Amino acid sequence: MTPHTARPGPSEDPLTPVLRGVAAVVLDTDGVITDSARVHAAAWKSAFDAFLLAHPPEDPRQRRPFDEQDDYLRYVDGKSRLDGAAAFFVSRGLDVPAGTVREVAADKEKLFTDRLREHGIDAYPGTVRLLRALHREQVPLAAASASRHAGELLTRAGVLDLFDTLVDGAEAARLELPGKPHPALFLEAARRLGVPADRAAVVEDALAGVEAGRRGGFALVVGVDRTAGPGTREALLKHGAHLVVRDLAELIETGAAK
């Protein structure tokens, strides 16, 4: 990506003190920048529930439908499609052949793509405000995602030009980067920004993602808890977040981040 000019934004948006000491920020895409996590979750539910209906496990406890909040956050959010599908099947105690895992992941991919192209995706207003505030402070920004759709999502949401670099699922595959919770994806994004991890921040909503940020030695790991479900904030903190916010606008409102 080439350098860009920051879009005009509200001049009254100062960064909170917690962000003033970082030299760069790396943000995940789904659920952090764009409102696409819910579309991913719905596509996974359709794919997994169809599999469980067609191949009902003997144990009734393994037959329960995919939960779009709990199962999504625990097993597939932030991971590559194959890793996420495999993790979900393992969580149900199912020994599913690799070929079948690929088929279910492919079904999810088609469902997600169809829904994306039919309905589109929006960026979270609070995230856009934070990105503009960071631009005013000349803080380099990277988007990093295990999704191969990250570039398309950011383009459709109209925010791709707010980033200095993007490391998406296609780049991760080309570079043979291990998936989250390994920190390789975030470390590559920081490297492209020219900033060491111990001077950069990671912003993530996935448990695997915040764990990756902490493992990578990032100076600040911000967990995003948009669902505010039972125990979700505590889970993000347990997996490595230094702080948790409901919306990234909290990071530009003095005293809001806790």
Q: CA-CA distance, 124 to 246, in Å (whole number)?
A: 12
Indicate if the pLDDT at residue 3 is higher than 60. Answer: no
Please confirm, yes or no, whether 30 is among the known catalytic residues: yes
Averaged pLDDT for residues 107-127: 89
Are 130 and 82 found together in one domain?
Answer: no
DSSP code of residue 29: S
CA torsion 81-87-88-89 (nearest 10°) is 110
Q: How far is CA 12 from CA 15, 24, 162, in A?
A: 10, 21, 19
Indicate if the pLDDT at residue 117 is higher than 50. Answer: yes
**97, 119, 141 — which closes off a domain?**
119
**73, 88, 119 — which closes off a domain?**
119
Domain range enclosing 191: 17-36+122-252
- Structural domains in the chain (count): 2
Candidates 28, 77, 83, 168; catalytic one: 28
Are 129 and 233 found together in one domain?
Answer: yes
Q: What is the pLDDT of residue 175?
A: 97
DSSP code of residue 252: G
Whether the pTM exceeds 0.75: the reply is: yes
Are 97 and 213 found together in one domain?
Answer: no
Please confirm, yes or no, whether 28 is among the known catalytic residues: yes
Are 144 and 27 found together in one domain?
Answer: yes
78 contacts 207 by C-beta, under 8 angstroms: yes
H/E stretch holding 21 reads none
**88, 119, 150 — which closes off a domain?**
119
The predicted-structure confidence for 206-230, as pLDDT tens digits, reads as follows 999 999 999 999 999 999 999 877 8
Q: What is the pLDDT of residue 49?
A: 96
For residue 112, give the CATH number of its domain: 1.10.150
Choose the weakest-confidence range: 8-17, 158-167, 174-183, 241-250. Answer: 8-17
